[in-house]
Structure 1
Amino acid sequence: MDPEALHRQLLDPATYPEPTRHVDYRETHISRVYLTDSHAYKLKKPLKLGFLDYSTLDRREFFCAEEVRLNRRFAPDTYLGVATLNADHGMLRFNGKGPLIDYAVRMRRLPDDRMLDTLVERNAPDLPGEIARLAGHLAALFAALPPCRGGADGHAADVRANCEENLAQTLPVIGKPLSSEAHRLMAARTESELARLVPLFAAREAAGFVRDGHGDLHARNICMTDPVRVYDCIEFCRRFRVDDVAAELAFLLMDLEFRGRRDLAETFLARYRECAADPDLAALLPFYKSYRAWVRGKVEALLSGETDAAPATRAAAGERAAKYFNLALGYYVQPVLLLTAGLMGVGKSTLARALAETLGARLLRSDVIRKELAGLHRGRAQPDAFGAGLYAPAATARTYAEMQRQVETLLHRGCSVVVDASFARDADRQAFFALAAACGVPAWLLHLQCARDLALNRLDRRQAEGGDPSDGRRALFAPQAALFEPVAAGPRVIAIDSSADVNYNVQKIACRLLAGRDYP
């Protein structure tokens, strides 16, 4: 049957055995899920990829049954069985009597409002407590799974095979979401990490930390009901599912960090450590988080290239792919000080925020600190003339001095720091470079530039929207430009065309940091 005709019929409530008012639809790179009011039906796409084979009806039936069997370990009352999809007098019917069309996993629908990704998105007030509850649940769940051996050559060989396959499968997506330089650097760093960690992989396998687990443990596959229901584990490749428990944890931690909630990741990890004795997490988590982020980047990149997916779905997947690839690189960037420099409206705050999320860095914004020092709310507009009032030279000097103080404290704690400010004076740039050197941390200046009209349009839009800490506006652009001291080219200066996509620029910067001599 034509895929589009099949899809249209599957959106018809009459296709389903239970009464339903409407049918929702969700798509991944390997499956399509149709949701009635009370149930979910998951059909596997007829794909044959390097890591799975759903190309025949028999294989889809087998893997539907495997999905039910394996997921009943984590959510026994959710997975009801395998349903047939039949052609019945010109209509499609699940568990009908006509010719067989396909198979589907039939599940009891879980409440959308208790999905962990939904709770994170709406910043539910009970999140910290729920994250701690989840950590205890997963610690008990992993402890109950029997230790498992890896492949014939041991778990370390499986980890290497997974990494090499992951890198090979992202070669075709080099282009918009992934640069060739990013791929090269990730391949090199992965090889060095594998060489370093092989003895630890083997020791942990011998100690029983390798389990037949989930393999796809992220927020969208967790429902915070009572009890917690973890679902949608990997059934199509044992090598992806049998892994160190640290790799399972890393996926969830990475996912929380990708969603901008490093605070929740820290809460989860602290509680998990209280519930489970695992002395090696600090050594393993950066590697596994980077690997998991690259996997998600690959998955989203594949979806972005699917011609039968909706254009909006493909575009969103492409953007997520770039962010995942950037995060994977960011886990290997050592503590660093990054300074933005440029005129108002060139996009410093947008880039600084994206960099801080990618690197797990602390973000210091001069617009916020300036108003805090003056006792003003960060969102209150202060339309002083250029160089006057809140923006007089003395106020600016106090702002930069306070930023220096905070930077020093954070660098001594081992944090990366992104300072979002204009750095119009070369003296200020040099002062922060000297501070970083005294702390033993490399510093880089990010010089942002774009066309004047683009910067002015951005200023107009931001002013119209209101609520931003910046008071930059069209009337102040020329006075600032007249006093902005030139940025000299140098080994620690990265020129940024801020008219380009922000994810592209973040990846460019991450590559420069990883390729620099301070990062072996």
Structure 2
Amino acid sequence: MEHPALHQAMLKSTFYPGEAGPVEFHETHISRLYLTHDHVYKLKKPVNFQFLDFTTLEKRHFYCNEELRLNQRLCSDTYLDVLEIRQDGDSFHLGAGSGEIIDYLLRMKRLPEGRMLSNLLTAADPTLPGEMERLGRHLAYWHRTQPPVGGDENADLERTRRNWDENLRQSAPLVENLLTADAQNRMREEVEHFLTEQAPLLRKRQSTGQVIDGHGDLHAEHICLTDPIRIYDCIEFNERFRLADRLADLAFLLMDLDYRGRRDLSAGVLQAYDETWGTDLDAPRLLRFYKSYRAWVRGKVLGFLAQDPEADAATRTDALARGRRYFSLALGYLCRRPSLILTCGLMGTGKSVLAAELATALGAIHLRSDELRKELAGLSPSSRDLSAFGEGLYHREATERTYRALADRAELHLAAGRTVIVDASFAEKGRRDDFRDLARRQQRPLAILWLNCPDELLLERLRQRRGDASDGRPELLAAQKRIFQPPCGESRVLPVDTRDEVAYNVQRIICHLANPEFLKEQP
């Protein structure tokens, strides 16, 4: 049962022997945390979800001890002990003594906030590339020390299938609010295809000792880059989420770095891990699948929060936006073949906003004509050109130079195996045809995203535009419409109505790109 009076007592430093000063309080859906100057005291809530049950005193005691045992594997000097909470009349105290035991808590040393990976990422700390090398080695060494999990050869395959079935069942109510029906169906099809096709591989990895009792929740908020590195808060409440292929454990961190826009750091962790562990030829096939699972889980959890009536409006709004991005990222991992993607549309249709979100989900190179045009002229992206339509920076010769540079850069990235999004108006069919030829030369699939929306929305967006590299303005729209050649009847064109949410369109586009039929067609 809940103890409001206990909570009030725990907000005072006098509740904790030897502590002084203010007590900070944080809360999650399953725990309450009380932070003193030197320690963190963690109390489990008496809750029961599908994946955990803390409803009895005995269960909370058991899982406190499990959390202590499991986390001491990665930071033995941080997780200290499990303490009794006793009630004697109207008073509460910590540890042995008189009174009835009413709960248990876990005591930990407080780690330095300035060394938390999540905070270093927010600060764009310049030491992060080197730290990711250290972290990758650390994880490989730790994974190597974990004994293989027993079971028959199908154990990991069946556990993975069960986790995915549960995941998709729980995300189904989020369709239309956080993800599209096509996204839900596409993911279900891809998972079934992967687990059927790769079943022999998963059985092989089970039998060769690649399945371990890992961390299960390995992301930036649970990593402190001290010396030694301390990784904490592993999953104790359900071993099904912890027992997995070592690459599935690693994939959570790689996905988290991808989501935060630091695929360079994700690659750095993986390179150091591989160099320490040794070449694993299975990794390319498995990591995309495992990263997709981790991103889908995060999207689902945030979806629950977005629909929680007890959460405040700001929290729900933030969870909605972040959940959609996680679902888009999960879908993006399904697009295995590098592609060339063009935006096409009038000023104000939202080409750059869509391209940026799509690039994040796909890990694609985003080439923006507005920025490249000014780079070629030796100007900063924020500089303004208020010339009439087709003049100044936008005269015919400058535009030709810009599209040639876009094509040259796109070709380099495509040749290197990257997906490229070329963000430009592509108002003329000839320019689109030039890039069709480029896709054919590089033997890459081509998609042309034809963005459109009503004129009144275009004008409103152009009036509100501030601090952007684009020089599009309401008074130029009519002139652009006169020269715009719509891609009606052209192949490889996907119409996009930008009245819809950006995340909705991103998911719809990725489902199109991931469709096997799309990959079969010629540019």
Q: Whole-Å Cα distance in 2 between the matches of residues 24 and 455 of structure 1?
A: 47
Shift of 1:491: 5.8
1:144 shift after superposition: 1.4
Contact 2:34 2:41 in 1 (8 A): yes
Q: How does 1:372-383 map to 2 (within 5 A)?
A: 372-383=375-386
1:283 aligned residue: 285
* Partner residue in 2 for 1:40: 40
* Partners of 1:461 and 1:67 in 2: CA distance: 51
Amino acid aligned to 1:311: A
Tell me, yes or no, if structure 1 residue 133 matches structure 2 residue 134: yes
How far off is 1:15 after superposition?
Answer: 5.1
Which residue of the partner structure matches residue 162 of structure 2? 161
Q: Distance in 1 between matches of 2:382 and 2:501?
A: 26
In structure 2, C-alpha distance between the alignment counterparts of 1:263 and 1:232, rounded to whole Å = 25
Indicate the residue corresponding to 2:327 in structure 1: 325
User: Which residue of structure 2 lines up, in the alignment, with residue 311 of structure 1?
Assistant: 313
Q: Relative to 1, partners in 2 of residues 1:378 and 1:92: Cα closer, same or farther, differing over 3 Å?
A: farther
2:356 corresponds to 1:353? yes
CA distance in 1, matches of 2:36, 2:16: 8
SS of residue paired to 2:465: helix
Residue 106 of structure 2 is aligned to residue 105 of structure 1? yes
1:72 and 2:72 correspond: yes
Q: How far 1:44 sits from its partner (Å)?
A: 2.9
Q: How many residues align?
A: 516
RMSD of equivalent CA atoms: 2.5
**Is it true that 1:54 corresponds to 2:57 in the alignment?**
no
Q: Single out whichever of 113-122 and 433-442 deviates more from structure 2.
A: 433-442
Partner of 1:428: 431
Counterpart of 2:400 in structure 1 is: 397
Q: Which residue of 1 aligns with 2:391?
A: 388
Q: Which residue of structure 1 lines up, in the alignment, with residue 294 of structure 2?
A: 292
What is the rounded CA distance, in whole Å, between the counterparts of 1:10 and 1:327 in structure 2?
40
- Per-residue displacement from partner, 1:197-235 (whole Å, max 9, x unpaired)? 221222222222211111111111110011100001111
Is the alpha carbon distance of 1:513 and 1:11 closer, same or farther for their aligned partners in structure 2, counting shifts above 3 Å?
farther
- Where does residue 341 of structure 1 map in the other structure? 344
Do the aligned partners of 2:153 and 2:204 also contact (CA within 8 Å) in 1? no
Shift of 1:304: 2.4
Residues 445 and 519, structure 2, Cα contact 8 Å, conserved in 1 = no
Whether the 8 Å CA contact 2:136–2:269 is kept in 1: the answer is yes
Contact 1:12/1:23, CA 8 A, preserved across alignment: no
Do the aligned partners of residues 61 and 110 (structure 1) sit closer, same or farther apart at CA in structure 2, a change above 3 Å counting? same
Following superposition, the deviation at residue 377 of structure 1 comes to: 2.2
Task: Evaluate the alpha carbon distance shift between residue 435 and residue 88 of structure 1 in structure 2; reply closer, same or farther with a 3 A threshold.
Answer: farther
SS at match of 1:147: coil
Write the letter of the residue equivalent to 1:156.
L
Aligned-pair distance for 1:66? Answer: 0.6
Residue 502 of structure 1: how far off its partner (Å): 1.6
Is 2:23–2:34's contact at 8 Å kept on the other side of the alignment? no
Native 8 Å contact 2:216 2:249 kept in 1: yes
Deviation of 1:324 (Å): 1.2
SS at match of 2:294: helix
- Give the whole-Å Cα distance in 2 for the aligned partners of 1:351 and 1:404: 20
Q: What stretches of structure 2 of length at least 5 have no aligned partner?
A: none
How many angstroms does 1:124 deviate by? 0.2
Partner of 2:213: 212
Cα gap change, 1:312 to 1:39, in 2 (>3 Å) = farther
Give 1:265 shift: 0.9
**Structure 1 gap segments, 5+ residues each:** none
Q: Which amino acid aligns with 1:57?
A: L
Q: What is aligned with 1:409? A: 412
When normalised by structure 2's length, the TM-score is 0.91
Preserved contact between residue 150 and residue 243 of structure 1 (Cα < 8 Å): no
Which amino acid letter does the alignment assign opposite residue 384 of structure 1? Answer: S
Per the alignment, residue 367 of structure 1 pairs with 370
Asked if residue 232 in structure 1 is aligned to residue 226 in structure 2, the reply is: no
DSSP 3-state at the match of 1:177: coil
Question: Mapping of 1:473-484 within 5 angstroms?
Answer: 473-484=473-484
C-alpha separation between the residues in 2 aligned to 1:212 and 1:394? 62
Q: 1:363–1:419: 8 Å Cα contact kept in structure 2?
A: yes
Counterpart-to-counterpart distance in 2, 1:4 and 1:490: 66
- Following the alignment from structure 1 to structure 2, what is the Cα–Cα distance between the partners of residues 89 and 3? 13
Deviation for aligned residue 1:452? 3.6
For residues 154 and 178 of structure 2, the distance between their equivalents in structure 1, rounded to whole angstroms, comes to: 34
Note if contact 2:12-2:22 (Cα within 8 Å) is conserved in structure 1.
Answer: no
Q: Distance between the aligned counterparts of 1:4 and 1:34, measured in 2?
A: 14
Structure 1 range deviating more: 448-457 or 227-236? 448-457
3-state SS, counterpart of residue 234 of structure 1: coil
User: 1:237 Cα shift?
Assistant: 1.5
Letter in 2 for 1:60: R
